[in-house]
Structure 1
Amino acid sequence: MFARLLIANRGEIAVRIIRACHALGIAAIVVYSEADRRALHVRLADEAVFIGSAPAPESYLRIEAIIEAALRSGAQAIHPGYGFLAERAAFARACRDAGLVFVGPPPEAIEALGDKIAARRLALATGVPVASGYHGADQSEETLAREAMRIGYPLLIKASAGGGGRGMRIVQSADELSAALESARREARAAFGDDTIFLEKLLIRPRHIEVQFLADAHGNCVHLFERECSIQRRHQKIVEETPSPALTPQQREMIGEAAVRLARAAGYVNAGTAEFLYDETDGRFAFLEVNTRLQVEHPVTEAVTGVDLVQLQIAIAGGARLPFRQEDLRQRGHAIEVRLCAEDPVTFLPTGGRLTRFNLPDDIRCDTGVETGDDVTLYYDSLLAKLIVRADDRSAAISTLRSALDRCVIDGVTTNLPLLRAIAGHPAFSAGELTTDFLNVHQVTQHLPVPLPAPNEVLLAAALADVQLLASGRAATHDPWGALGPWRMLRADMPLHYRDDAGERYVRITEHDNEWRISIDGASYTVERLTAHLDHLVLRMADGRIERFGMTRDGSAWCIEWRGQRFRLVHAALDVERLGAAGHSHSRAGLEAPMPGAIARILVREGDRVAAHQPLVVLEAMKMEHIVAAPHDGIVLRVPYAVGALVAKGALLVELEEG
């Protein structure tokens, strides 16, 4: 066993590995970027080493910096977690060359299985069924187009390296192939440094089934049964469970043996996962890939087998034998995991901000990398926490999950909590009718609660709170409302611009003697401020009502509690021209960045005429691409940024004149 282990990761998985190390009496050393100086994994570790600036290529993907940190801190082993360098054979080899133990498979096994094309070839050689496709070395567009016609549409383009849905595109027809190839390659190159792709026949409405396996260096290999991971968004899992409600005992044994066969053929050591698509119409499985690392969803396997996979990973890396045989393992009860992410529950676009409240249930397992007060950055994966429930049967597990989700309270950052609640409460989920297009088939996002606009009283409170903040001189220059300039209490007329969950809101505020006159969407109010502090505000309305507000400042937003409800108003930059004398002007439309990111491509120039829905800019965030399209026909007036520029959420990407 090791005395000191370095964790080459961050967030939730780094915290998980820290706790496993401490349970084994191992000192846990972490690395961190500039964005993670005050992160939870840094606070919990025995030692933390700074490795670079916020972007992952300048920190968590720097192999030489991580190796140097391990050697300098006296670590004997490195655990890569998942994501970042976890499936890079070059990293595993660099660890070995430096005399460090890599807690994962040998680089030769990563090369044999981590590359999806190589894994498909090995699966064919070992008799494991695969979907029809093309995985040849010829990557020319002509060859890929010809092979696509042979395979037949619809089909999938998939990146050979990495996973997580990055570099994956669904292609419905030959007309879409060229653009999809370019986009998939670009995304794969940015995420994995390798733009090799392959083609695969798209199975219609399959289930996604994966098998956890463990192998030691002494020739022992077992599977720890399957996980059902069918409910996904953007080809990324958000709900996982075990056992699968679809498999028979015979199918479970068959797919488990196939996974073990693959692992043995590759000379695998440590933890890995073989993934399959399962077609219920004919009962057939098709091999997808092997993840040569720990999986995000590993806790559900731990919950039903009683095995600590991370501790076993470390023990196997230290030379230990597996402490059990295949016949010793059993599934006991049913477990479900959901991924709580910082993202919009409808568009799935990542979000960020400061967690002003982050309360999770304390009677279930919650694996998380954040706490109340932590900042959520857009530089890395959007995962905030995993909620894991276990019960004697699936019905009881679903009931426990619903209760746990209802008791989550999160403020300051938009999350997918409404989506998780909708899935857990859906009749099809209860019935076990799970497919990879679950969200689309059941139109889950279209039935989420519609966000209501903040009442005008809440806007009054936000406007007056901003007045107080500015007048006191406590508005720092880096804050979004620093753009308001030198305005102070004596200014006669003040326009303010907010965003809430329902859209854009515009406010005008004027001081008159001891009263404030405020105009909101054409309605006028006169209020008297009775008490004003940074944490609460008391107002007397014109009709004599006394209204009390709880106020919490959260970066560019106010989190306001009023009459038992919570509202969040983001303070946007002033747009005096748009406000105008009448309050609005619709002659120009500014296309704003839906999230912070980098400009990957600009598809138009100033003066171009564009049609409605035409792609204008490609924004890259979280190593995935997002297309910003024209909302209507028009003429491009201005493109303020160049390719490669980093932009904030709400930044004007294209100014478009309608008509």
Structure 2
Amino acid sequence: MRNAHFDKILIANRGEIACRVIRTARKLGIKTVAVYSDVDANSMHVQLADEAYCIGPAPSAESYLRMDKIVDACKRSGAQAVHPGYGFLSENAKFAELLAKEGIVFIGPPASAIVSMGSKSESKKIMENAGVPVVPGYHGENQDPGFLLEQAKNIGFPVLIKAVHGGGGKGMRTVFSADAFHSALESAQRESLKSFSSPAVLVEKFVTTPRHVEVQIFSDAHGNTACLWERDCSVQRRNQKIIEEAPAPGLSEEVRGRLGEKAVEAARAVGYRGAGTVEFIFDCDNGEFYFMEMNTRLQVEHPVTEMITGLDLVEWQLEVAAGNPLPLKQSQIPLVGHAFEARIYAENPRKDFLPDSGNVVHLSTPEPTHIFAPPLPAADTRLEQGFTAPGTIGVFYDPMIAKLVVHASTRNEALRVLRKALEEYRVVGVNTNVEFLRALAGHESFEKGDVETGFIKRHYDSLFPVISEPSSEVLAQAALFIVLRDHPVPTPSALSSPWTALASRRFGGDVYDRAITFENAQDAAEGAEGEVEVKDSERITVRVKSLSGGLFDVRVKTTQGEKVYNDVSAQLLSPTTLSSTLDSKSLRTTIVSQAPPPSLPASRAPNANERLHVFSSDGSCSGLKTTLVVPSPNWLISLGSDVLSASSGGATIKAPMPSVVVEVKVQVGQMVEKGDPVVVLESMKTETVLRARKSGVVRSVGCAKGEMVPEGKVLVDFEEEAK
């Protein structure tokens, strides 16, 4: 007899995964309880839930990781079960045990399975005994740095240092030589301690050409275990996934079958229950695969499995947690078409994918079409989002804005749907990886399915082409936007007077003529890790002259020459939409202005300047964002008195994003060589090492361990070594 669902569940998480769980619970008629930190009080998951409880300040250690506060919220609300989502407490065996002690159901595996699979060293021993192949390496308990170095030498470089507990790329470093081992070990242990409360690591052979292939499994309390096919998550940055697909491209049915069998054996070896993912390294050089780890939770990328099966995995989790058997047998699980998930992050791909933070002032997305209703549609778009604009991306949590998921009958068709959806994404206020994802989805090798974890490094030049000067078409539209915004064409009405019916330009005569200066904000070159060197930009001038009948002449002058558009028709359809006709081509373009904070002095150029974000409407590059700086006038800049400048002959290291200073590795008077680590920062759970660009002597240190520093703050000032 089938057990009834819970009446009320608490979601011990935030963001898009909390919203995702709430949607399924609503579908099943289950009430939901949200928990939130102080900074999340107005977040989407709080608004969607039936009730919500504040559990502490912004730092996760004081809120989302506080087991006692979550249990208290369960008791106060009457929640019968807790869904942990992913991250935070989702793979914490003590949390599962505490809930059981309090009579609250944990919507996840037994604590014993979390312990066994949560330790990468123990899990590999279990897998070896179960006949599942593992990567060669040291998985023991000895954590002495000298001993671990000897083990690395015995394995042979390159090696991979990995946190024993946790996942998500945290506490993971690739080491190519013995000289770099100790520094990488310290960084991996420090990050592991912060993320998983344990500094323990293991050392494994680094497979030079690996694919990351994982299998979705489900087990119930009645002895049933099923494989819901595999996903490929090979394309990664910073050891973290960025795009996933299902099924994995290029696998034979024989290999797919063996992967599924080994994943099921792994789950049975630990008495698993609920949703889990068995991750494998697939060696492209020899076609062999090795067990890597098992994630004892729902994965970020679970929607691609849902798209190819038509199943709701959160619903399956709730069924299993209620004590019911799996809804389908292995032979009944569909595999239809192909799906992709692209993670939309607040980050700067051209700065080594450094996470970004700040206010999101504009956000528009593709229109989702997905519902859980078989048969599966020929083409489908799904958006998993826990954020709306206006809003703020802070430094305390993961910088993921949303997940864009698509499905179609074939891989090529799914890629086409993905590219179209990415073209429709519009984000202003923080840097994002949208344009990088579009370049990736259109890359020839990616289209062929020729993927491995070194894909981005291998194809870096084609994924990050040199940024060219903005087109004359984009510049003309930006200038027209400014003219129409600053001097709007009045709308006649019966009650109008000369003071409201006449535009301001009429007071200067019948012809309005304005020269507008731009700088290309994307004119930047990459420096050392965590640094960007901005080139001296050539200023661009566009002259707009109004004509009778609402027409304009536009003259664009750049370093490449001059382009003139005559009798241009243009109007603002909304505060962010420009309709224009250039050279007989009708265009409808999204343009968003980002003004500087009112409190920021004009002298702090370029941050004190207005920025225009122009999303191209040309069919050949629809959605491509060009950011232009509208420089503040000289008279305004001259009012500022607090310009930060470095003395001649010096060099500085500045914070590339808002961060917490983890470690300062230099002191005043110290001689530093080019490439030496100077400061270690942490933002959004990711460590970044800033290194000296040149050799020199430390003149001053402007930060301290534990300090929160804003973007652009001078951290270390050098006196360059005399040549």
TM range (shorter): 0.7 to 0.9
Deviations 1:158-195 (CA, angstroms, capped at 9, x unpaired): 00011111111111111111111111101100111111
Counterpart of 2:712 (choices 647, 650, 659) is 650
1:451/1:610 CA distance change after superposition, 3 Å: farther
Shift of the alpha carbon at 1:502? 3.2
Partner of 2:436: 419
Aligned match of 1:296: 300
Alignment of 1:392-407 (within 5 A): 392-407=409-424
Matching residue of 1:370? 387
Which of 684, 695, 698 is 1:636 aligned to? 698
Match of 1:359 among 360, 364, 383: 364
TM-score, structure 1 normalization: 0.84
From the superposition, tell whether residues 570 and 601 of structure 1 become closer, same or farther in structure 2 (CA, over 3 Å).
farther
> 1:421 Cα shift?
0.6
Alignment of 1:446-525 (within 5 A): 447-448=464-465, 450=467, 500-502=521-523
* 2:157 equivalent in structure 1: 153
Matched, 1:110 2:104: no
Equivalent in 458, 476, 482 of residue 441 of structure 1: 458
Distance, in Å, in 1 between the alignment partners of 2:259 and 2:434 is 33
In structure 2, what residue type is equivalent to 1:378?
Answer: V
> CA separation in 2, counterparts of 1:214 and 1:152?
37
Aligned to 2:622: none
For 2:268 and 2:469, locate their aligned partners in 1 and report how far apart those are by CA, in whole Å.
Answer: 56
Change over 3 Å in CA distance of 1:444–1:273 after alignment to 2: farther
> Which residue of the partner structure matches residue 350 of structure 1?
355
Aligned residue among 257, 261, 268 for 1:257: 261
Determine if contact 1:112/1:118 at 8 Å carries over to the other structure: yes
1:47 aligns with 2:109: no
Secondary structure (helix, strand or coil) at the match of 1:380 reads coil
Aligned residue in 2 for 1:26: 30
Provide closer, same or farther for how the CA distance between residues 317 and 245 of structure 1 changes in structure 2, counting only shifts above 3 A: same
1:600 match? 662
Q: Distance in 2 between matches of 1:87 and 1:145?
A: 29
SS at match of 2:262: helix
1:241, 1:334 within 8 Å by CA — same for their partners in 2?
yes
**Are the aligned partners of 2:612 and 2:630 in contact in 1 as well (CA < 8 Å)?**
no
Distance 1:570 1:644 in 2: 36
- Alpha-carbon spacing, 1:286–1:366, altered in 2? closer, same or farther (3 Å): same
| Aligned-partner Cα distance in 1 for 2:615–2:170 | 43
- Alignment partner, residue 516 of structure 1: none
Taking a change above 3 Å as real, the CA distance of residues 23 and 418 of structure 1, as seen in their structure-2 partners, is same
The AA in structure 2 aligned to 1:567 is: T
Q: Is the 8 A contact 1:232 1:239 kept in 2?
A: yes
3-state DSSP class of the match of 2:656? coil
Match of 1:591 in 2: 653
Matched, 1:188 2:192: yes
Task: Choose which of 298, 310, 313 in structure 2 pairs with 1:309.
Answer: 313
Aligned partners of 1:167 and 1:187 also within 8 Å? yes
Return the alpha-carbon distance in structure 1 between the equivalents of residues 463 and 337 of structure 2: 33
1:35 and 1:577 mapped to 2: Cα distance?
31
% identical equivalent positions = 43
Residue 545 (structure 2) aligns with: none
Q: Residues 499 and 571 of structure 1 are in contact (CA less than 8 Å); yes or no, is this contact kept in structure 2?
A: no
Aligned AA for 1:560? L
2:105/2:321 contact within 8 Å kept: yes
Name the stretch that deviates more: 240-249 or 155-164.
240-249
| Cα drift, residue 139 of structure 1 | 1.2
What are the Cα deviations for residues 267-310 of structure 1, in whole angstroms up to 9, with x where unaligned? 11100000001123322111100000000110010011111001
Post-superposition CA distance 1:38-74 (Å, at most 9, x none): 2111121111111111111111111111111121111
TM-aligned CA deviation for residue 632 of structure 1: 1.7
C-alpha separation in 2, matches of 1:639 and 1:357? 37
Superposed displacement of residue 635, structure 1: 2.2
Change (3 A) 1:377 1:23: same
**Cα pair 2:233 2:243 within 8 Å, conserved:** yes
Distance 1:95 1:444, change over 3 A: farther
Question: What is the aligned partner in structure 1 of residue 408 from structure 2?
Answer: 391
2-structure distance, mates of 1:441, 1:184: 24
Give 1:445 deviation, angstroms: 6.7
C-alpha change, 1:381 and 1:21, in structure 2 (3 Å) is same
- Answering whether residue 204 of structure 2 is matched by residue 200 of structure 1, we say yes
Amino acid at match of 1:502: D
* The one of 74, 80, 91 aligned to 1:76: 80
Equivalent residues of 2:209, 2:285 under 8 A apart: no
Give the Å deviation of 1:140. 1.0
Are 1:567 and 2:588 counterparts? no
Quickly say closer, same or farther: Cα 1:158–1:457, change in 2 above 3 A: same
Say if 1:571 and 1:499 are closer, same or farther in 2 by CA, change over 3 A. farther
Instruction: Provide, for residues 366-416 of structure 1, a one-character-per-residue CA deviation record: whole Å limited to 9, x for no partner.
Output: 111112212111211111111111111111111111111111111111100
Kept in 1, the 8 Å contact 2:348–2:432? The answer is yes
Alignment partner of 1:379 is 2:431: no
Encode CA deviations 1:56-114: one digit per residue, 9 max, x unaligned.
Answer: 11111111111111211111111110011111111111111121111100111100112
- Equivalenced residue count is 590
Amino acid at match of 1:366: L
Contact 1:606 1:637 in 2 (8 A): yes
Q: Which amino acid aligns with 1:596?
A: P
The one-letter code of the counterpart of 2:612 is: I
Distance 1:40 1:55 in 2: 19
Deviation at 1:324, TM superposition (A): 1.0
> Residue 348 and residue 317 in structure 1: after superposition, are their counterparts in 2 closer, same or farther (change >3 A)?
same
Could you say what the CA RMSD is over the residues aligned between the two structures, in angstroms? 3.2
Q: Which runs of 5+ in 2 are unaligned?
A: 370-380, 486-518, 525-533, 539-574, 577-590, 598-606, 617-624
Asked whether 1:616 is paired with 2:620, we answer: no
Aligned to 1:232: 236
- Cα distance, 1:628 vs structure 2: 1.2
Note the alpha carbon deviations across 1:294-346, whole angstroms, 9 max, x for none: 00110010011111001111121111111111111121111111111110022
Paired AA for residue 313 in structure 2: L
> Cα–Cα, structure 1 residues 571 and 602, in superposed 2: closer, same or farther, change >3 Å?
farther
- Gaps of at least 5 residues in structure 1 are 466-497, 508-534, 537-548
Would the aligned equivalents of 1:360 and 1:407 in 2 still touch at CA under 8 Å?
Answer: yes
CA 74–350 in structure 1, closer or farther in 2 if over 3 Å, else same: same
Q: CA deviation at 1:568?
A: 6.3
State the alpha-carbon separation in 2 of the partners of residues 170 and 625 from structure 1. 14
Amino acid at match of 1:450: I
Cα separation, 2, equivalents of 1:389 and 1:448? 26
Q: Are 1:410 and 2:427 counterparts? A: yes
CA change 1:314–1:158 in 2 (3 A) is same
Q: Secondary structure at the match of 2:348?
A: coil
Conserved in 2, the CA contact under 8 Å of 1:439 and 1:445?
no
Q: Aligned equivalents of 1:570 and 1:181: distance in 2? A: 46
How many angstroms does 1:246 deviate by?
A: 2.0
- AA matched with 1:112: S
User: Kindly tell me: are residues 603 and 396 of structure 1, through their superposed partners in 2, closer, same or farther at Cα, counting changes over 3 Å?
Assistant: same
Tell whether the 8 Å contact from 1:412 to 1:559 is kept in structure 2 after alignment: no
**Which stretch has the larger CA shift, 555-564 or 187-196?**
555-564
